Amino acid sequence: MTENTKNMQEEIANLVEKWKGKEGNLIMILHELQNYYGYIPRPAALELSRALETPLARIYEVITFYNFFKLSPPGKHTIALCMGTACYLKGAPVLLNEIKNLLNVEEGQTTKDGLFQLDVVRCLGCCGLAPVIKIDEKVYGKVQKSQVMGILSEYGNHNQEG
Amino acid sequence: MDEKVIFLKDTSADADRTRDFYASFLNALRECGLEDKVQVVRVADIGIYNRGLVVKFADKDIVYVNVEEKDIKNIVAQTVKEGKVIEKFLFKDEPKQLRIVLRNCGEINPENIDEYIAKDGYRALCKVVSDYKPEDVIEELKKSGLRGRGGAGFPTWMKWKFTRQTPETQKYVICNADEGDPGAYMDRGVLEGDPHSVIEGLIIAGYAIGASKGYFYVRAEYPLAVERVEKALKQAYDYGFLGKNIFDSDFSFDIDIRLGAGAFVCGEETALIASIEGKRGTPRPRPPYPSVKGLWDKPTSINNVETLANIAPIILKGGQWYASIGTEKSKGTKVFALTGKVKNSGLVEVPMGITLREIVFDIGGGMLSDKGIKAIQTGGPSGGVIPKEYLDTPVDYENLQKLGSIMGSGGMIVMDEDDCMVDIAKFYLGFCVDESCGKCVPCRIGGYQMLSILNKITESQGQIEDLDKLKRIALAMQKASLCALGQTAANPVISTIKYFEEEYRDHIVNKKCRSHKCKHLVNYNVIQDRCKRCKVCVINCPVNAISGDKEKGFFVDPKVCVRCGKCFEVCKFNAIAKE
C-alpha cells in the first residue's frame, strides 16, 4: 500500500466519522472531498463507498447528476465564464469564442499545459458587471473582447512551456 | 430685505436647457419687479431625474417638475409673487423603492449579530415565543397576505397551516437558497447583506409549524453567502436564539446547512428534498405534498429566502401594516434583480403594483444606450417576455401571469432593439434542456425537440409549419411534465411567439434576423461609398471570401462567407454592412 492511498484512507475515514449519524450526508462529504482534491478521484470514490457501505454506483449517480462535482483534475487556474442572461445579452458568447480561440480549448476542458480550465457557468450573481469572467477568485467585470488576452496573460505564459 | 432662492435644473434625458430657462426666469421676475428680491440659481444636480425642468423653492419647501418655458411667467406671478401653489406642477415625493426585505442590507455589518439586534433583530422571535401561540403566528401571516416569493406565489400562511395540521411529531422547515435563475441574485443579496433576517424568519417558521429542525439549502456557487450564513448561525447559537429553550421557552430549534451542487431543478420542492437527503435531485409526483410527506417522509415546509426575510417585520409591525402595501391580491414588496440593457443595474425593492415603466425608467434610470426598449423578461427560464406596449402594467402575480409571464423569483431583464427574440427563446430553452433531470419524457424529449426546431430556424432552415409544431410540443410539455421545470420550460418560447411572431416569420420566410444576432441569417457587404480600398478586410478574412481590386472595389461572396464578422470588426471606416 502506497503512502498516498494510506493518506486517502485516513482522510476519508475522518470525513465519514465527522458526518456519521447525519442523514443525507453523501453530498456534504463529496463537497469536502472536492474541496480537498479539487475533484473527486476514482480511488477516493471507491474508498468512500467502502467506508459508507454504499454501492459505488450510488455515489457516481450523485456525482454525475450535479454540475458542481468534477471527475477530472482542474487546471491550475479555473476560468469561469458567466453565461447568465445579462452576460449573454451583453456579449458573453463573443468572449467565449475569444477564449476558446486563444487557448485552443473547449468548454469544460483543461488546456494541454494544464494552466487553464475553461468552465461556462450559469450565473455568478453579479449581473450589474455583465459580462463577467471569474478566474480563480478574481472577478473581471464589463470585459470586452480586446481585454481578454491581457487578462489571461496575467496568469502566466500559456503553451510556451507546454 | 430677505432674498428668496429658486433652484433650477433641467433633468430631461436628452438635453440640458437650464441656461435658457434661467434667462426666462430672470425676464419673468423683472416683469413682476421682483428681480432684486429673488435669486435664481442653476444647479448641476437636484436629486430628481427625467422630470423635465425642476424648480425648487428653497423657502417654501416646494418642488415643481415638468415645467415648460411657457409656464414660467405664470409660476413667477402666482407662486413667487402671491405664494400660491400650482398643483399640476407639484412634485409628490413618493419614494419608489420600499425596503422591507433589504431593510438592513448595506446598513449593518452582516457579520456582527449585535448590529442586527440594534435594528430590532430577534425581537420578533422573542415576541413570538413569549406571547404568541403558533396559531397566532399563522393568523398574523394570513392577515398580512404574504405569498411565497420563490415564484409560484402560494400563500405562506396556508403552507404553514397545512404543515402544522399534519399529525406527526417530527417536522422540518427548509430555507430554499438555491438560487439558480440566470440573471437573478436577490437571495444572494439578502444572505450576504443580512443573513440574520432570514435565520430569524426560519426559526419563527419552525415555531409556527411545530418543527424542531431547520435546514438552509444554499447554493455552493455562493461561497461568501455560505460563509456569512455559517457565521450567523454560530452567533445565533452563542446568543441562545438557536438551540434548547429559546428565550427560556419550551421551544427548541436547530439549523443545519446543506450545500446545493449546481442543479437548477433543485429549486423544485421535491427535488430539493431529495438533494438534502443526499440523492440525485429528481422531483417526484405530488401529491403527497411536502406539507404531508416531505424530508424523510416527514411534514416539511419549504420557504424562499425573501419570504423568510419578510417574517420578522410582519410580526413586529403587524399583518395589517403589511397588507396595506401592494395590490388587492399581491401584498407587500418584491425584490427584483434589474439587469440587462438598463442604466442602473441592481437590486431594487418595490411595492407590488408599481408599473414596469417606473421600475425601468424611474429607478433604473432608463435605457443604457439610445436603442429603444423592446421587451422585459421576468421569471427567468420559467417566465416570458413582456413587450414594451405593456410597460404600464402594474406588477403583481396575476397581471404578469395574464401577460404570459410570471413573477418568478425576481429576475427582470431589460432588452433593447438589438436583442433577437428567437435567440432569447433559444437561450432560455437551452438552459432548461441542459438542466432537465431527465426523469420524465415530456420534459426530456420535448425540450430537446423544441430546441432543435429553434436551432433550425436560426440557421435559416426553418419552415412555416415549425411554428405550429413548437406550439404543440409546448402544450404537451405544459400538461404532462412531472414538475414545474418541464411545465414552464416552454414559456419563453410561447411568449415570444405570442408577441413577436412577426420576428419568427422573418427568420423563417425572409431568412432575416432584424437584430443581426443569428449569424446564419446575416449577410456582410462592403459599402462601396465608404470603402477606402485599404484591404484590411481582405487580409483578415479567414476564408478568403472577399475579393476584388482597387478599381472595381471589393465584394463579399455570400457562398464562401462563414459569417464570422471579422471584416465588420476590423474595418475602421464602418464600410461593412450587416443585412
Q: Where are the domains of chain A?
A: 3-65, 77-153
Residues of A in contact with B341 (CB under 8 A): 89-90
Q: What H or E segment, with its residue span, contains residue A9? A: helix A3-19
The pTM assigned to this predicted structure is 0.83
Chain B contact present for A127, CB below 8 A = yes
**Domain-wise residue ranges, chain B:** 4-89, 113-322, 333-416, 421-508, 523-578
pLDDT tens for chain B, 579 residues long, are 456 778 887 776 556 677 788 888 888 888 888 888 888 877 766 656 667 888 888 777 788 888 888 888 888 888 888 888 888 888 765 567 888 999 988 778 899 999 999 999 999 999 999 999 999 999 999 999 999 998 788 999 999 999 999 999 999 999 999 988 887 889 988 999 999 999 999 999 999 999 999 999 999 888 889 999 999 999 999 999 999 999 999 999 999 999 999 899 999 999 999 999 999 999 999 999 999 999 999 999 999 999 999 999 999 999 999 999 999 999 999 999 999 999 888 889 999 999 999 999 988 888 988 889 999 999 989 999 999 999 999 999 999 999 999 998 899 999 999 999 999 999 999 999 999 999 999 999 999 999 999 999 999 999 999 999 999 999 999 999 999 999 999 999 999 999 999 999 999 999 999 999 898 999 999 999 999 999 999 999 989 999 998 888 999 998 899 888 889 989 999 999 988
Chain B contact present for A88, CB below 8 A = yes
- Name the packing angle between helices B195-209 and B123-131 (round to 10°): 10
Nearest to B100 by CA among B393, B358, B409, B311: B311
Q: Give CA–CA dist B467/B67, Å, rounded.
A: 49
Using a 10 angstrom Cβ sphere, with 0-12 exposed, 13-18 middle and 19 or more buried, the burial of residue B235 is buried
Chain A contact present for B458, CB below 8 A = no
The C-alpha of A89 sits at a distance from chain B's nearest C-alpha, in angstroms, of 7
Chain B contact present for A39, CB below 8 A = no
The C-alpha of A58 sits at a distance from chain B's nearest C-alpha, in angstroms, of 8
* Long-range interactions of A19-22: CB distance < 8 A, separation 24+: A22/B256
Pick the CATH number of B523-578 from 3.40.50.300, 3.30.70.20, 2.60.40.1120, 3.30.590.10: 3.30.70.20
Q: Quick check: A23 and B261 CB within 8 A?
A: no
Q: What H or E segment, with its residue span, contains residue A82? A: strand A77-82
Residues of A in contact with B277 (CB under 8 A): 23-24
**Half-sphere exposure of B25 toward its Cβ, with a 13 Å CA cutoff?**
28
The C-alpha of B299 sits at a distance from chain A's nearest C-alpha, in angstroms, of 16
Please name the fold of domain B333-416.
Ubiquitin-like (UB roll) (3.10.20)
Smallest Cβ–Cβ distance between A127 and the set B183, B282, B377 belongs to B183
Chain A contact present for B258, CB below 8 A = yes
Please name the fold of domain B421-508.
de novo design (two linked rop proteins) (1.20.1440)
Chain B contact present for A24, CB below 8 A = yes
Give, in words, the CATH class of B4-89.
alpha beta
Interface probe with B: pick from A122, A124, A126, A139, most Cβ of B within 10 Å: A122
Chain B contact present for A122, CB below 8 A = yes
For residue B427 the three cell numbers come to 437561450
Nearest Cα residue in chain B from A35: B220
Q: Give CA–CA dist B567/B556, Å, rounded.
A: 10
Please report, in angstroms and rounded to a whole number, the separation of the first and last CA atoms in chain A: 33
Please name the fold of domain B113-322.
Rossmann fold (3.40.50)
CATH architecture for segment(s) A77-153:
3-Layer(aba) Sandwich (3.40)
Residues of B in contact with A119 (CB under 8 A): none
Residues of A in contact with B260 (CB under 8 A): 68
Residues of A in contact with B345 (CB under 8 A): 86, 127-128, 130
- Name the packing angle between helices B491-508 and B441-458 (round to 10°): 30
